[in-house]
Structure 1
Amino acid sequence: MEYLIGVDLGTTATKAVLFEKNGKIVASSSQAYPLYRDASGMAEEALEDIFEAVLVTIREVSFNLAEEDELLAVSFSTQMHSLIAFDENWQPLTRVITWADTRAVKYTEQIKNSAEGFEIYKRTGTPLHPMAPLSKLIWLREEKNNIYQRAAHYLDLKGYIFYRLFATNKIDLSTVTGTGLFNIFKLDWEEKALALTQLTKAQLPEVVEPYTIEQGMPHEFAKKMGIQEDTKFVWGAADGPLSNLGVNAIKPGVAAITIGTSGAIRVVTDQPKTDEKGRTFTYALDREHWVVGGPVNSGGDVFRWARDQIFDGKLSYDEITALASKVAPGADGLLFHPYLGGERAPLWDANARGSFFGLNYGHNRSQMTRSVLEGVVFNLYMVALSLIEVVGNLNMIQATGGFTSSELWTQILADIFEQPINVPESREAGCLGAVIMAEKALGIVDNLEVIEEMVGTNRSYEPQVEHFEIYRELAPIFIRLSRALTAEYQNISNFQRRFED
């Protein structure tokens, strides 16, 4: 038998999945690690934690290979927007500064207000936000100048893993399009962005195709992973674009909606497209497939907050959802804006804060919980409206992520979007997408459309008329309210910072 391994370098865990060539899952392994946060907005990870997680998870799934079996390749999906600085001897000067790090918020505002700020977005496709390495680099220069001055090289997380395994200094095309430093039309580093950060091209990695193959790792690492030294490692792509591929959402008008810890809505086009209002991102899957969409901070983490703070952590998610399901759509007129930790799309405002609106004496924890679930979806609906302006109407929606285990939450999605929602069979979309790219790199398949043969529909949800008529009335209120509060987000976040440790 011939097999492939897909590896997903996530924010809170690395996962490895062993697949047959036809996309069937054989085994999976996940290794968690901490995300280090503090009140300043720091969100970092330890390099060694993640590298060790790669070795461990690949070893655990490779145990399922018999001696006569062949491992064709290992391919990667990665979290986007990460940044690591190294000195001239390739000693790391920072941990992994992740997409969730917001310490660059002040410098992001400066970029937005500069003459070239919006032009940089239009050329790079990466919204101006603290998540982007563009902003992080300016923050390093201004607030961690001792690191900035010593930094001779910069890599993303996947680039670091490949550096450890193969001594490379590279970044794949998909991941680099999320840095805010790369011109997505010229497919080269963006000079205006480099000028803002005061970096030189010599400090940046070589950009390679997602189908690039590396071989010949040190014996010690191959032994720890339980695989051959000459095993092919395919670069793969970034997690957002690969999720679209992995759920069979790569045709025009087919949207992928994911709600995990955070969330996103994305559509694939055949060329890069940016938004005249700067609301959406444009990242590459490969040169022929570009993913346009918007990511949200507010997903499952908001539901976790509701469990911990509204219910004191005493009820399970299923028990809480059961209470919410007894409440009518619209939560009896209670709206929730889920911006507990700032927001990316559609606001692109790290100072945004959450709120309940319409709260009265008749509301209890059940209504509050339903409004939290609805608020996350209303927010994604706002992103979808922006996306439609850029790429046209959405004809089909493929839904993935932990939220699909909740029938209530998935039905709310169908009702607010007024469209059928398909839940694909495979929940390992990123890893499956990485494996499909590996098969194309190896010449096993000719194109990515083979995903249609591998991903069926597990179940579907139809919008219910009596529900979406209510949401039609509430959605404009939700949208107008988010705009009305925008002017005060900066003020309330400044006030809150006085009380941070």
Structure 2
Amino acid sequence: MDYLIGIDVGTTSTKAVIYDKKGKIYGYANKLYPLIQENSDMAEEDPDVIFDATVAALKEVTGKVDGKILGVSWSTQQHSLIALDQDHKPLTNAITWADNRSEKYASAMDKDGSGLELYKRTGLPNHPMGPVYKILWLKNERPDIYKQTRYWVGLKEYLIYRYFGQLKEEYGMAAATGLFNIHTMDWDEESLKLTGVTRDQLPELVEATYQVKGLKPEYAKEIGFDADMPFIMGGTDGALSGIGSGAIGDGEVSVTIGTSGVVRTFVDKPQIDPKGRIYCYPVMDGKWIIGGPVNNGGIVFRWVRDNLFAPEKALAKEMGEDPYDLLTKIASKVPAGSDGLIFHPFLGGERAPIWDGNARASFFGLTRQHNRSHMVRAALEGIVYNLYTVELALKEAAGEPKKVMASGGFARSPLWRQMLADIFEEPVTIAESFEAGCLGAMVIAQISLGLADNLSVVKNFIGKTNTYQPNPETYANYREIMPIYIRLGRKLESEYTAIAEYQRKREPKE
């Protein structure tokens, strides 16, 4: 039998799924790794640790089958940056999308309008997540590293180099750097001039379906691959999770909540928001993806678990219960709207729709009648409130959605599924599909290898779907509290920079 592997290199783990040509799953692996955070603005990862995780994941799923592996396809986190020396050795860790140290350079370009102009050319919103801003930070504050840098790459490009000794970058990942012009489909001359980066410091641009060949023998042997087996470039984790959720048709919106979160839809041509609130990146076959990512998805739930419910976390583990399941049970006993307790979930700054690296989280409306149960529900609701404000911006750009489909770790929770339908006040469809990013990568592999004609083949693989209808009694509560959430957020914006600067003065230095 022939098989395909989709591998999803995320922020906290690498996941690999092995499929047959009909999309049946034969194996799954999940390899965790740490985020390096010495202060609240820093968010790095060791790229060699992640490389080892990909080897281990691929080896594990390959060992579950007896047959020919036709190819491996990538889904990888966006916006990472690694500086390489002339021997292709890392001078930095992978500086991730969550790293906020270039905030002042993004803010300066926001104030003078050049950030909006860069967005109009590149589709990258003005925010320190962008590698273009990270390079400016290194240029000005780490000049020793900047001067030694021979190549600028992201995490996927580094991994492919380790496997093949080739520097390649597909168009969607390139667009997420802020160095790529989405209108000319080439590196952006103005961004290169701004950063001082030259074309020969960047990888070769290729399509999502491009096959990289020439796997180094030592990795072919260790994993169990044929030496001539191709790796397919694939795409960004955002685009491929959208594909894997099945939301590829006109007007179909996908919502994903994993560590972070995103609301997105596919369009047929570049579409720029005059206010710069949503990204726009190419995918393949004349498809573009527009949407808004949020920093604060499941990572907020983890913070609640570890900091507000540590005793319950320990008790759940002793009882063999998932601590998250216990917390959702606790939250479900609190009425929708958390009796007027609102949580702005900006624990790690925020991307869409406010694009403010200095944003900070807050509870508002606390009274003596509130307890930790209210706080956990308010935190879950705050995540979805924020995603709803992203959908409002997306509606302005792309019109009313015809269908909302959801995926990600949160989709396992019936409470969050219903919460999403109630807050969005729209039916929400959950597909059975497992690990949407891996599935999306596998679909790209099918197209690349001539097994499928276009992205619509994913409809054959997503399995059964369940649709959650909004509850009129519940969404009436949310309809009343959402305007308060939005107005309050606008009033707090003027103080985010002040409190962030106060905090930075008191944090340990690198």
- Smaller-chain TM-score range? over 0.9
Correspondent of 1:243 among 241, 256, 270: 241
Correspondent of 2:385 among 355, 359, 378: 378
Q: Give the CA deviation at 1:71.
A: 1.1
- Provide the aligned C-alpha RMSD in A: 1.2
C-alpha offsets along residues 82-140 of structure 1, whole Å, 9 cap, x if unaligned?
A: 11111122222111111111110111112212343211101111111111101000001
Structure 1 residues 351-360 or 315-324, which shifts more? 315-324
8 A contact 1:116–1:192 mirrored in 2: no
8 A contact 1:107–1:138 mirrored in 2: yes
Distance 1:160 1:465 in 2: 50
> CA, structure 1 residues 460+346, in 2 after alignment: closer, same or farther (shift >3 Å)?
same
Instruction: Please tell me the residue identity of whatever aligns with 2:366.
Output: L
Correspondent of 1:108 among 103, 106, 109: 106
Give the structure 2 partner of residue 65 of structure 1.
Answer: 65
Distance 1:475 1:405 in 2: 25
1:29 lines up with 2:25 in the alignment: no
1:206 lines up with 2:204 in the alignment: yes
Instruction: Please tell me the residue identity of whatever aligns with 1:408.
Output: L
Give the structure 1 partner of residue 95 of structure 2.
Answer: 97
Distance 2:360 2:497 in 1: 9
Give the structure 2 partner of residue 155 of structure 1.
Answer: 153
Distance 1:205 1:176 in 2: 9
Give the structure 2 partner of residue 304 of structure 1.
Answer: 302
Give the structure 1 partner of residue 46 of structure 2.
Answer: 46
8 A contact 1:422–1:457 mirrored in 2: no
Secondary structure of the corresponding residue to residue 378 of structure 1: helix
Secondary structure of the corresponding residue to residue 37 of structure 1: coil
Uncovered stretches (5+) of structure 1, i.e. residues with no partner: none
Secondary structure of the corresponding residue to residue 139 of structure 1: helix
Give the structure 2 partner of residue 481 of structure 1.
Answer: 488
Q: Give the CA deviation at 1:313.
A: 4.4
Q: Give the CA deviation at 1:287.
A: 4.5
> CA, structure 1 residues 313+303, in 2 after alignment: closer, same or farther (shift >3 Å)?
farther
8 A contact 2:408–2:436 mirrored in 1: no
Tell me the TM-score normalized by structure 1.
0.97
Secondary structure of the corresponding residue to residue 276 of structure 2: coil
Give the structure 1 partner of residue 421 of structure 2.
Answer: 414
Distance 1:362 1:187 in 2: 56
Distance 1:47 1:309 in 2: 29
Give the structure 1 partner of residue 282 of structure 2.
Answer: 284
Distance 2:434 2:460 in 1: 16
Q: Give the CA deviation at 1:387.
A: 0.4
Give the structure 1 partner of residue 369 of structure 2.
Answer: 362
Secondary structure of the corresponding residue to residue 264 of structure 1: strand
1:142 lines up with 2:140 in the alignment: yes
Q: Give the CA deviation at 1:486.
A: 0.4
8 A contact 1:40–1:103 mirrored in 2: no
8 A contact 1:279–1:345 mirrored in 2: yes
Secondary structure of the corresponding residue to residue 109 of structure 1: helix
Q: Give the CA deviation at 1:314.
A: 2.3
Correspondent of 1:500 among 476, 486, 507: 507
8 A contact 1:165–1:221 mirrored in 2: yes
Secondary structure of the corresponding residue to residue 310 of structure 2: coil
8 A contact 1:5–1:17 mirrored in 2: yes
Give the structure 1 partner of residue 166 of structure 2.
Answer: 168
Secondary structure of the corresponding residue to residue 332 of structure 1: helix
1:84 lines up with 2:82 in the alignment: yes
Instruction: Please tell me the residue identity of whatever aligns with 2:3.
Output: Y
8 A contact 2:106–2:115 mirrored in 1: no
Distance 2:201 2:171 in 1: 17
Correspondent of 1:265 among 240, 263, 266: 263
Distance 1:305 1:115 in 2: 35
Distance 1:411 1:418 in 2: 10
Report percent identity of matched pairs: 48
Q: How does 1:124-143 map to 2 (within 5 A)?
A: 124-143=122-141
Give the structure 2 partner of residue 339 of structure 1.
Answer: 346
Structure 1 residues 453-462 or 145-154, which shifts more? 453-462
Q: Which runs of 4+ in 1 moved over 4 A?
A: none
Secondary structure of the corresponding residue to residue 452 of structure 2: coil
Give the structure 2 partner of residue 180 of structure 1.
Answer: 178
C-alpha offsets along residues 360-408 of structure 1, whole Å, 9 cap, x if unaligned?
A: 1111111111111111111000000000000111111111111112111
Instruction: Please tell me the residue identity of whatever aligns with 2:457.
Output: V
Distance 1:403 1:217 in 2: 36
